[in-house]
Structure formats: structure tokens, C-alpha cells
Amino acid sequence: MSLLEIHVLGAPGLRQESQPVGAITDDVRRLADDMFETMYAASGIGLAAAQVGRRERLFVVDVDDTPLVLINPELVARDGTAKGEEGCLSIPEIYGDVERAARVTMRALDADGRAFEVEGTELLARCLQHEMDHLQGRLFIDYLSILKRRSAMAKWERERAKYPSLRRTLDPRDLAEQHNDEAL
Ligand code: ZN
């Protein structure tokens, strides 16, 4: 397994729609493994392929110690609304409240090509919807009010200077120093 570079806001791939995965090959499984390793190194709970510069319609999540790979996911049910704070591994240090469905059910293929359904509430529901958005090129900042978005972008302009190539390279040795904010 290897750590992947995370593309940050401004990288064009983050705004592109992902493409359905045809065959689940060893290459796809390796991508999922590398995405897990990268997500854990970044202290994240979700990561979409678009965030590591890939086009596959695929994301990984791990909420409550339950790692899941969702390939070609579809939303099959949603219910209620809940507001909560979100961050994103592709927009480091920026946070904002987003209203999401309180409960969602998604259907997807796992890394062995088997269809499964996952129902999420609370943090898992939020995480699944956030990652699903990445597959459409949508980011959590798109949901912020104009004023909140403007202040988030002003802060991001300063943060972005840390990523001149619009890539975030993780250093496993930094792990111990990281704070505990969960990012998706
Ligand atoms: Zn994200």
C-alpha cells in the first residue's frame, strides 16, 4: 500500500463527475487500499477517488471502526434532516455547518464486486452524503450561505498558499501531532 497525494480545492478533478467502474480489477482494489491508508494518515473518516486524482466512482469511509468501500454507489432512500459541522480533506482547516438528510440508505458494490446496502444515521449518514457529493464534483462549501462561504474562502486563500501544486502530501511521521477534527 502507498500514501496518495490528496488534491485540494482548486484542482480541477475535484469538480468533475466520476465515471462508473466497469470491472473491479486488482487496480481498483489497490486504489481502495491506498485510499484507506491515505484517509487514515490524514485522520479522515471518508475519502473519494476524485480527491486523489482518479475518475472512478468509488469512495471509502470508516465511521465507528467499520471500514467500507462503496463502488458505483447509489442513494436508494433518504429521510429527515440534520445540521452538523463538516470539513474536507481537500479543504484543510475549513469547516462549516451543512444540512443533510438524517438517514440514508445506499446501494453499492464492495471490493469483491458483491452488491450490498448500507444504512447510515448521524455521522455515517453525513459522511456517506459528503462522499457521494464528491463523485458529482460537489463540495460541502457549496452549501454554505453566501456570507459564510465568503469568509471560508478568505480563510482558504491563506491556507491554499501551503499547497502551491494543489496537492497535499501526507507525512506519516506527522500523525502524532494531528488534532482530532474529523474530516471527510
Ligand atoms: Zn470531502
Cite the active site residues: 131
Name the pLDDT band for 1 (thresholds 50, 70, 90). confident
CA neighbor of 94 nearest in space, from 11, 163, 181, 180: 181
Quick one: pLDDT at residue 181? 58
Separation of CA 178 and ligand 1 centre (Å): 18
Separation of CA 1 and ligand 1 centre (Å): 22
Name the pLDDT band for 176 (thresholds 50, 70, 90). very low
Pairing mode of beta strands 46-48, 6-7:
unpaired
Alpha-carbon separation of residue 120 from 20, 26, 65, 98, 125 (angstroms) = 22, 28, 14, 17, 4
Res 130 pLDDT > 80: yes
What's the rounded Cα separation, in Å, for the pair 108 and 4? Answer: 23
Instruction: Report which residue type is found at 174.
Output: D
Res 180 pLDDT > 80: no
Res 4 pLDDT > 70: yes
The mean predicted confidence, pLDDT, of the chain is 94
What digits encode the pLDDT tens for the residues 45-94? 999 999 999 999 999 999 999 999 999 999 999 999 999 999 999 999 99
Separation of CA 5 and ligand 1 centre (Å): 14
Give the range among 73-77, 95-99, 169-173 with minimum mean pLDDT: 169-173
Separation of CA 115 and ligand 1 centre (Å): 24
Map out the domains of the chain with their CATH numbers.
6-175 (3.90.45.10)
Res 177 pLDDT > 60: no
SS3 179: coil
Quick one: pLDDT at residue 61? 98
Quick one: pLDDT at residue 171? 80
Q: What are phi and psi of 15, to 5 degrees?
A: -105, 10
DSSP secondary structure of 48-107: EGGGGT--BSEEEEEETTEEEEEEEEEEEEEE--EEEEE--TTSTT--EEEEE-SEEEEE
Separation of CA 140 and ligand 1 centre (Å): 7
How much of the chain, in percent, has pLDDT values that exceed 90?
Answer: 91
For residues 159 and 183, the model is more confident at 159
What's the rounded Cα separation, in Å, for the pair 12 and 21? Answer: 20
